[in-house]
Chain A
Amino acid sequence: MKDLSQAKNFDEFMEGIWRQNPVFVMVLGMCPALAVTVSAVNALAMGFATTFVLVCSCLLVSLMRKLVPKEVRIATYIVIIATFVTVVDYVIQAVSLELYEALGAFIQLIVVNCIILGRAEAHASKHPPATAMLNALGMGIGFTIGLFALGGVREILGAGKLFGVSLFGANFQPWVVMVLPPGGFFVLGAWLLLFAAIRRKKGIPPAESKGCHVA
């Protein structure tokens, strides 16, 4: 019995990391995924900020799932999410002003990131707090991995560095397009192509995204 529940918990956790990865499978949260992944540090910071908001709001939504009337649930979720986004906003501003300026409006825009609202509506409001948190953590980590996959490639090709450390020496020729907006689309497209090819090789039909198509 215990083994079964452990397996189920592991499954909840892994859902967001692999099977329903928000970036590569569900293709959600594209706004930050394309806009702030110019460098690996930006990508990781954005991923961690989103993960924090995701876990905290899913916990609170899950705790309040029987108290909130059905008619006002979306408004409640938004208020909860906005609260945690404000926390993250101030924390990043206090820790690193440089990072805060690099991420710009996209920190505040976590509010409308549909991964979070989607998880609150589709998962947290129907599951107990522990399960909801586990699932949200998996989703957050999956999102962070996705952003890092984009940010890492873009920083390596666009600047010859990873986490600010030079990889190829001073004579490296930067690919200017990679740090510009089109570079985000190129790299995302290449990753999606890779995962689609893996899926086809394994014989898994193309995944359909669940959730809203907002941001």
Chain B
Amino acid sequence: MSSSVEIRSAPHIKSPRSVEMIMRNVVFSLLPVCAFFVYQYGISAAASILVVTAACLLTERLFVRLGRQSGDLSDYSATITGVLLGLTLPPGFPLWMGFVAGFTAIALGKALFGGIGFNVFNPALVGRAFVQAAFPAAIATYTPSFLPGRFTEFIPSSLAWPLMAPADTAAWLKGMQIDAWTGATPLAKWKFEGTLTDAGDLLTSLAGHMAVGPSPALILLCGAYLALRRFMDWRIPAAILGSAGLTAWLIYAIGGTKYPDPFFMLFSGGLILGAVYMATDMATSPVTPRGMWLYGSLIGVLTVMIRYYGGLPEGVMYAILLANAATPLIEQITQPTPFGKGASIRAGRSATYTLHPDYISREEAAAKMSKKRFFKNKPKKP
């Protein structure tokens, strides 16, 4: 990525940390989650994750070459996007739609903004938002987990021909003769039928044939590993889960039985996966500590509001995308006070600089440099 000789000013802290290393560890921490997902849904889930990841990697390669952008497959960032996107899609999602999702995620969510580190929105969620808008029926079709023949047989909707509508899974499921299966995720059941699933069952994802993603307990465990090794800031998931739980609890306390209990809100849908792996994407979340709390709270409150009062049962994706859009503003208003300035003077008002120098992006630095060159060259012209 960079040249072999680097000249820098002090302090000279030698750290083995690099983008590649952090991203590689995130991929490792995702492997147990993927394994559990495959254990739940069988070869369809495995194929889905593989196809989406392959689409992401191919697209990344294409755009890095075409656009002469920095970064490449070796930095693992496209792998993370692919795996996360695969985990958010239903296991029986048609593979060709998964390919479209992966392509859109990298092309629209990452490459168009300038590649790694420049994306405004989480690429995986951009891909998911696109297929949610393009194929709303397919993305709402879930199949139950732990089906008997899941390791030998594909879910029929997975193998739809490209551009063709997927096969109907309802008829296929009838042949399975599974009791107590209504064909909806716990959130959709609550929203449209008014039945609640036990929060403890949701936490482990192990009970019965529920249509749920990987176990929230496992995701929290893998997230804890990342947070302990400082590959991820614990503040963002803490703020999201705290604010979502608090908002849900407040509404539950005031509104009563009309609303579900806060634990159901926390463990259902993609909230845990979103809080731990999506919202913490380094390029799209704030770098200031206070900003992280604000950003996380925004996501938590928005998620609960969309789930309660929106048309769709799930709201994590849109909440995170909206908060991503607000990130630059959050960073502006939560600048830390520079050392020596005193607690009474706010950094924003200080005369020396409005932004902490560490936060000045490469873009601005490059703009300043080119200006200098421009003035140097100008007098030479006749």
Contacts and interface: CB of A to CB of B under 8 A. Distances in A.
A186 B129 CA distance: 13
A169 to B, nearest CB: 8
B133 A173 contact: no
Interface string A172-193: 1101111010100010000001
Given A171-B165, A172-B165, A177 B133 contact: yes
A168 interface: yes
B134 A175 contact: yes
Interface of A: 160, 168, 171-173, 175-178, 180, 182, 186, 193, 197
Nearest to B136: A176
Contacts of A176: 133-136
B164 A172 contact: yes
Contact of A180 (B133, B138, B165): B133
A193 B108 CA distance: 12
B165 A177 contact: no
A197 B62 CA distance: 14
Contacts of A182: 133
Contacts, number: 32
A172 B164 CA distance: 4
Given A173-B163, A173-B165, A176-B133, 13 more contacts: A168-B163, A168-B164, A171-B165, A172-B165, A173-B97, A173-B164, A173-B166, A175-B134, A176-B134, A177-B133, A180-B133, A193-B112, A197-B66
B164 A175 contact: no
B22 to A, nearest CB: 31
Contacts of B165: 171-173
Contacts of B66: 197
Contacts of B133: 176-177, 180, 182
Interface residues of B, number: 16
Contacts of A177: 130, 133-134
Q: Which 8 A-B pairs have the closest CB atoms?
A: A177-B133, A173-B165, A177-B134, A175-B134, A171-B164, A171-B165, A168-B163, A176-B134
A62 B259 CA distance: 70
Nearest to A173: B165
A177 B164 CA distance: 16
Contacts of A180: 133
A97 B136 CA distance: 32
Task: Classify the interface of chain B: helix, strand, loop or mixed.
Answer: helix
Interface in B38-88: 66
A160 B161 CA distance: 14
Contact of A173 (B108, B112, B130, B160): B160
Contacts of B136: 176
Interface in B132-146: 133-136, 138
13 contacts: A172-B163, A172-B164, A173-B97, A173-B160, A173-B163, A173-B166, A175-B135, A176-B133, A176-B135, A176-B136, A186-B108, A193-B112, A197-B66
A175 B139 CA distance: 12
A148 to B, nearest CB: 21
Nearest to A175: B134
A45 B66 CA distance: 37
Most buried by B among A171, A173, A182, A193: A173
B203 to A, nearest CB: 34
Nearest to A167: B163
B134 A178 contact: yes
Contacts of B134: 175-178
Nearest to B97: A173
Nearest to B104: A186
A35 B261 CA distance: 44
A193 B63 CA distance: 12
A56 to B, nearest CB: 40
Nearest to A160: B163
Contacts of B138: 173
A79 B160 CA distance: 56
B251 to A, nearest CB: 32
Interface string B113-143: 0000000000000000010011110100000
Nearest to A158: B134
B59 to A, nearest CB: 14
Nearest to A182: B133
A181 B82 CA distance: 27
A168 B164 CA distance: 8
A30 B160 CA distance: 36
Interface in B245-290: none
A182 B160 CA distance: 26
A27 to B, nearest CB: 17
A168 B138 CA distance: 19
A177 B160 CA distance: 20
B165 to A, nearest CB: 4
B135 to A, nearest CB: 7
A123 to B, nearest CB: 34
